[in-house]
């Protein structure tokens, strides 16, 4: 399914969606529990300009944010309608293990939906239902009395604040939609990919997902490439490779909001899977506000990897030249759904909340990292890739392990109206 990018078309689709809303069974559960239950298309709401409420009492502050449906763990492909809305709580000062309760409004009273404990950063998040009986749900959270601090209750948030996405692709059919195009179709020694290039041969749409691959470039026959490091030193000889590398450049972009993709990675090292964004126009500015930034929402470097294999980065321009911010995620396996889960076994939703003040990165709604560095102030577009850079080719463990594959079930983004 593709959601039109224009506001007029989006309004029309919202009206149609409202007419077809159906009953949702069940309410919400903490995001670490169980499989998601189906939900209808959200009822129409204006594009949000504010989606966070806060309250203060006795030297404490509690803020509650409602986010789009960005939580959906599972082994197979799934419809976007099955994703769960995320409600995120932040309490300061942060008191680890402080109990919190999420409630929903029921008439003139409140009903408990879920409970959790704050982490060391004062955060708790919940994956919850978006509608009940086709209607929005109002939520609030309470941080209970703890270590001499009185209880604090947040103001309310409405589950359908974000409405339907400005762009959504579930990769139905057998080919990419017109929103996508292939990129980086030339071998690029300067970019440390003298042995790999993007190719539509490494992109396949089937069974509700897009498969991005690293394949041997058969047009090269038995010829091999000499891979080199950034300092020019030789790494070794390897087969030439074709990479799956696609984007919505020139077709779908946004400024401020939430972007999300449901992905299942390749297992092995030797290539890295990515969901990232770049600015529509590279204008040479020395400021991200006017020139944009590279936003690496998630990168997976394979198993086993030092630091756990998952990273998030921002590359942004400064007066002194490009600057890189970010690192490997700390203990990323804490975001897996169970001990038997792995990043190559199940699909997970990777997202970024992008505002004028910060980037907030999440996995299935769990916050993994936030930064105020290099905030882009221009329109950016999504990119999906499985790239094999020269410096990682030797990590594959032999050319006989080609091909490698990653899968993307869906991509969506929701744009803010006029964020403060």
For residue 312, what are the β-bridge partners?
327
Question: What does the pLDDT read at residue 50?
Answer: 73
Looking at residue 26, what is its pLDDT?
A: 30
**pLDDT at site 12:** 36
Q: Which regions of the chain carry the CATH code 2.60.40?
A: 7-158
Q: Is 314 helix (H, G, I), strand (E, B) or coil?
A: strand
Q: How many alpha carbons lie under 13 Å from residue 297 in its C-beta half-sphere?
A: 28
The C-alpha atoms of residue 262 and residue 275 are separated, in whole angstroms, by 10
Q: How many secondary structure helices (H) and strands (E) does the chain include?
A: 2, 29
DSSP assignment, residue 319? T
Q: Is 82 exposed, middle or buried (0-12, 13-18, 19+ CB in 10 A)?
A: middle
Strand pairing class (241-247; 196-198): parallel
- Structural contact between residues 82 and 36, judged by C-beta atoms closer than 8 angstroms: yes
Cα separation, 314 vs 376, in Å, equals: 10
In CATH, the number for domain 167-415 is: 2.60.120.200
Q: How far is CA 95 from CA 62, 71, 122, 172, 272, in A?
A: 12, 25, 6, 45, 37
User: Any idea what DSSP says for residue 308?
Assistant: G
> How many other CB atoms sit within 10 Å of the CB of residue 76?
12
How many whole angstroms separate alpha carbon 188 and alpha carbon 195? 8
Ranges for all domains in the chain classified under CATH 2.60.120.200? 167-415
Q: How far does CA 169 lie from the centroid of its chain?
A: 14
DSSP 269: S
Quote the Cα angle for 338-104-161, to 5°.
Answer: 85
Which CATH code for domain 7-158? 2.60.40
Give pLDDT tens digits for 253-268: 999 999 999 999 999 9
CA-atom Rg of the chain in angstroms:
22
Residue recorded with tokens 């224009």: 6
CA distance 10 to 138: 24
pLDDT at residue 179 in the model: 98
Compute φ and ψ for 219, nearest 5 degrees.
-70, -15
Between the two ends of the chain, the Cα-to-Cα distance in Å is 31
pLDDT of residue 229: 95
Q: What is the pLDDT along the chain (420 residues), one digit of tens a residue?
A: 554 444 334 433 333 333 333 222 233 333 333 333 333 444 444 567 679 998 999 899 999 999 999 999 999 999 999 999 999 999 999 999 999 999 999 999 999 999 999 999 999 999 999 999 999 999 999 999 999 999 999 999 999 999 999 999 999 999 999 999 999 999 999 999 999 999 999 999 999 999 999 999 999 999 999 999 999 999 999 999 999 999 999 999 999 999 999 999 999 999 999 999 999 999 999 999 999 999 999 999 999 998 899 999 999 999 999 999 999 999 999 999 999 999 999 999 999 999 999 999 999 999 999 999 999 999 999 999 999 999 999 999 999 999 999 999 999 999 997 544
């Amino acid at each position: 399914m593709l959601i039109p990018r224009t506001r007029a078309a989006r309004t029309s689709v919202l009206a149609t969606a409202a007419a077809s809303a159906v009953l949702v069974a069940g309410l919400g559960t903490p995001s670490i529990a169980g499989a998601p239950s189906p939900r209808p298309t959200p009822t129409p709401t204006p594009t949000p300009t504010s989606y966070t409420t806060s309250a203060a009492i006795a030297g404490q502050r509690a803020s509650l944010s409602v986010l789009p449906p960005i939580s959906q763990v599972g082994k197979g492909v799934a419809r976007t309608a099955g994703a769960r809305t995320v409600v995120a709580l932040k309490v300061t000062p942060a008191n680890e293990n402080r109990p919190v309760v999420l409630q929903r409004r029921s008439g003139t009273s409140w009903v408990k939906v879920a409970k959790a404990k704050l982490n060391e950063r004062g955060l708790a998040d919940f994956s919850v239902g978006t509608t009940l009986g086709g209607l929005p749900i109002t939520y609030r959270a309470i941080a209970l009395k703890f270590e001499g601090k009185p209880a604090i209750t947040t103001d309310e948030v409405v589950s359908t604040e974000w409405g339907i996405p400005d762009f959504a692709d579930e990769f139905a059919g057998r080919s990419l939609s017109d929103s996508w195009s292939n990129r980086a179709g030339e071998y690029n020694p300067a970019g440390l990919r003298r042995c790999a290039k993007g190719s539509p041969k490494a992109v396949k749409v089937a069974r509700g997902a897009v498969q991005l691959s690293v394949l041997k470039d058969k047009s090269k026959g038995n010829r091999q490439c000499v891979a080199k490091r950034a300092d020019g030193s030789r790494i070794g000889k390897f087969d030439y490779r074709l990479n799956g590398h696609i984007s919505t450049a020139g077709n779908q972009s946004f400024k401020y909001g939430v972007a999300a993709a449901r992905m299942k990675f390749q297992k092995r090292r030797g290539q890295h899977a990515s969901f990232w964004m770049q600015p529509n126009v590279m204008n040479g500015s020395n400021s991200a506000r006017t020139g944009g930034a590279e936003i690496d929402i998630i990168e997976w470097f394979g198993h086993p990897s030092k630091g756990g294999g998952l990273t998030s980065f921002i590359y942004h321009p400064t007066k002194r030249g490009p600057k890189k911010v970010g690192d490997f995620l700390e203990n990323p396996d804490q975001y897996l759904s169970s001990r038997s889960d792995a990043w190559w076994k199940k699909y997970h939703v990777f997202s970024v909340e992008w505002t004028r003040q910060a980037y907030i990165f999440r996995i299935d709604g769990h916050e993994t990292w936030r930064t105020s560095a290099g905030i882009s102030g221009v329109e950016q577009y999504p990119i999906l890739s499985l790239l094999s850079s020269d410096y990682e080719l030797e990590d594959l463990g032999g050319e006989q392990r080609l091909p490698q594959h990653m899968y993307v079930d869906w991509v969506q983004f929701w744009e803010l109206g006029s964020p403060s």
